């Protein structure tokens, strides 16, 4: 494997971000990201079309707009860095995994096309990390922990918070592995930086997710039962 780029390694260590720019992943890693992301998105589109009713489309649009706007607002974390909402777990909890993948794919693509937040060649791996992995991890964690919510409301909140936090950490770890596989940054440098910073960002993700779910529960509690019809 080629030696890591020292400039890129410093960049990753000082400014660990999920949106990978062009030039930070190798051609094989970028191509693999495109293939895997496309396969999962195609599956998600088929499942969502089969399981969601016509009322889901407006909700998907609203969710995409909310997450897109939320990603534009950064909040400070330690070390002079900042983070923003990812939204994968929130979308999965409200829409189910398949519709959430479609929504998150649209958000990640628009961020790259309109604001160059992540490169176009790297769009496959960015989509895989933030639109696929974060959704599936968030959904899986939430579905495992959700039954505990029947014991106490605080446990329901803890399930959503854990889903959001772990979804961010999963995306951060995947990003780190892709950078290491591309010889962009040594795993020993990138992994502590990415996991450490995103552990803090995940706290913000969890709090935003809880706030959004609280608003939904107050206004439209029926939406919290919709994903049960959309997970097959």
Convert the pLDDT of each residue in 114-173 to its tens digit.
988 888 999 999 999 999 999 999 999 999 999 998 888 899 999 999 999 999 999 999
The DSSP 8-state label assigned to residue 84 in this structure reads E
- Residue 75 Cα distances to 12, 96, 162, angstroms: 19, 27, 19
Q: What is the pLDDT of residue 231?
A: 58
> Cα–Cα distance between 193 and 164 in angstroms, integer?
19
pTM of structure = 0.88
Convert the pLDDT of each residue in 26-58 to its tens digit.
999 999 999 999 999 999 999 988 877 777 788
Lowest mean pLDDT among 25-29, 33-37, 74-78, 216-220: 74-78
Checking if the pLDDT of 229 tops 50, the result is no
The CATH number for 20-229, chosen from 3.40.50.720, 3.20.20.70, 1.10.3720.10, 1.10.1760.20, is 1.10.1760.20
> Cα–Cα distance between 176 and 173 in angstroms, integer?
5
Query: Could you tell me the pLDDT band of residue 103, with boundaries at 50, 70 and 90?
Result: very high
Number of H helices, E strands in the chain: 9, 2
Mean of pLDDT over the chain: 87
């Amino acid at each position: 494997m080629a030696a890591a780029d020292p400039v890129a390694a410093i960049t990753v260590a000082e400014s660990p971000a999920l949106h990978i720019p062009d030039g930070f992943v190798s051609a094989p890693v970028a191509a693999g990201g495109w293939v895997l992301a496309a396969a999962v998105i195609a599956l998600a589109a088929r499942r969502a079309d089969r399981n969601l009713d016509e009322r889901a489309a407006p909700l998907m649009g609203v969710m995409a707009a909310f997450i897109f706007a939320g990603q534009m607002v950064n909040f400070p974390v330690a070390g002079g860095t900042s983070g923003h909402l990812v939204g994968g777990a929130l979308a999965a909890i409200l829409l189910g995994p398949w519709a959430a993948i479609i929504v998150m794919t649209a958000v990640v693509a628009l961020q790259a096309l309109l604001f160059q937040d992540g490169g176009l060649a790297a769009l496959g791996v960015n989509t895989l990390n933030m639109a696929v992995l974060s959704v599936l991890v968030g959904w899986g964690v939430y579905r495992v922990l959700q039954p505990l919510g029947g014991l106490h409301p605080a446990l329901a909140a803890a399930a959503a918070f854990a889903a959001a936090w772990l979804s961010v950490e999963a995306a951060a770890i995947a990003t780190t592995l892709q950078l290491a596989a591309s010889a962009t940054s040594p795993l020993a440098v990138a992994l502590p930086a990415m996991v450490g910073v995103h552990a803090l960002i995940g706290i913000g993700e969890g709090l935003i997710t809880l706030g959004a779910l609280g608003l939904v529960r107050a206004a439209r509690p029926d939406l919290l039962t919709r994903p049960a019809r959309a997970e097959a």
